[in-house]
Amino acid sequence: MPSKAQQRYLLASAVAGVAAAIRIIRRRNIHVPPQPLPADFPVTPKDVVDAAKRVRPHVHRTPVLTCHGLDELAGRSLKFKCEVFQRTGSFKIRGATNAALQAPENAPLVTHSSGNHAQALALAARSTNREAHVVMPRTAPAVKRAAVAGYGAHITLCEPTNKARAEAAQKKTEEVQGYFVHPSNEPRVISGQGSVAVEFLEQCSDLDALVVPVGGGGLIGGIAVYAKWKRPSLKIIGAEPKNVDDAYRSKQKGELVGHDDRDSVADGLKTLLGSNTWPVVRDLVDEIITVEESEIKKATALIWGRMKLCIEPSAGVGVACVLSEAFRARYPADEYGTVGVILCGGNLDLAKASAKLFA
């Protein structure tokens, strides 16, 4: 028979053990089954799983890289999902391919895009033997226009406002009797982008949080639908430039708001959340953290210099977020020791970008 002191010790040990186990289960999601999501979402976890299978033969399974120097700066382990190595130079080929593979037979594909989705849709159309028509703002980098034309798509230029491009795309869709593939709000695009998370969670079993740049919300939408179902304890944090913070302000206000066509060095993130991406961001994304233009430039240059990866500033937004004071304060390293960051793309006008980043 153990003594009183021994009994107390054993009891305390048992309590501590159970508490530790609960912490591990909550954080690592061991044995916690996938959770049902609200039924009215435009995209279900099954849509994402199906999309991942559908696009697999057409996209790269991009590597996850780490960098000791970045880990030291962040004070924790960072895992970088390198969509910068994806076909067409960004994750956008995933959603575009998923949409193209399900479009009505022979319909030309139509879209508007500031660049990466344009290239992606152009290649997806070529791969599926369709015509593609792309409405681009006349301010889009020359390198992006050349890439779209290089894939054989027809380009229509418009004014660089969200309104102007939506109108021009609608007109073009009617004109060619095409299938319109919105760069972020189209459900098949959202589920296609979610395939990033299917791969990332297979590649890394120890993530405590995921940081995802937010523009139109297609990427974070698809990721959140899948990841919150597959691993409910995983935090999903959106990273947004303060200059174009419609997602942040929408979350604050509890309703979808726009912004005033302000500019950002992260030109891929200037688009707005839409009717399909907003409910997902509202209900499944834990938080949006905004970063200044100077932080974006610094973080982008850091990845060039330390990791030797030519990311575009939109990808730097996620890096800036994970290095920000706000992130450190709200997601302390002792609780969130391993954070995944999506390096979403690497398409840029190198002359202009490097002048901005290293001048």
| Chain contacts with its own copies (rule: CB under 8 A) | 63, 65, 84-85, 89, 143, 301, 304-305, 307-311, 346, 350-351, 354-355, 357-359
> What is the C-alpha separation between 43 and 225, in angstroms, rounded?
7
What's at 9, amino acid-wise? Y
- Nearer of residues 16 and 350 to its own copies, judged by Cβ: 350
Asked if 274 contacts 189 with a C-beta cutoff of 8 angstroms, the reply is: no
**Helix (H) or strand (E) run with residue 120 in it:** helix 116-127
**Closest to its own copies by CB, 34 or 305:** 305
**C-beta of 13: minimal distance to its own copies in Å?**
36
Provide the angle, in degrees to the nearest 10, between the axes of the packed helices 277-284 and 218-230.
Answer: 40
> Is 114 a catalytic site residue?
yes
- For its own copies, which is the closer residue by CB, 284 or 348? 348
Residue in 110, 70, 55, 60 with CA at minimum distance from that of residue 90: 60
Nearer to its own copies, 209 or 344 (CB): 344
In angstroms, give the least distance from the CB of 63 to its own copies.
7
Residue closer to its own copies by CB (options 81, 188) is 81
From residue 95, give the alpha-carbon distance in Å to each of 139, 191, 222. 24, 7, 9
* 327, 344 contact by CB (below 8 A): no
Task: Tell me if residue 92 is catalytic.
Answer: yes
Among residues 92, 228, 235, 297, the one annotated as catalytic is 92
Minimum CB distance to its own copies, residue 189 (Å): 23
Could you give the count of Cα atoms lying within 13 Å of 182 in the half-sphere of its Cβ? 23
β-bridge partners, 204: none
The Cα 138–Cα 259 span in angstroms is 20
**Shortest gap between Cβ of 205 and its own copies (angstroms)?**
21
Nearest-approach distance from CB 233 to its own copies, in angstroms:
31
Which of 113, 114, 195, 324 does the annotation list as catalytic? Answer: 114
Active site residues per annotation = 92, 114
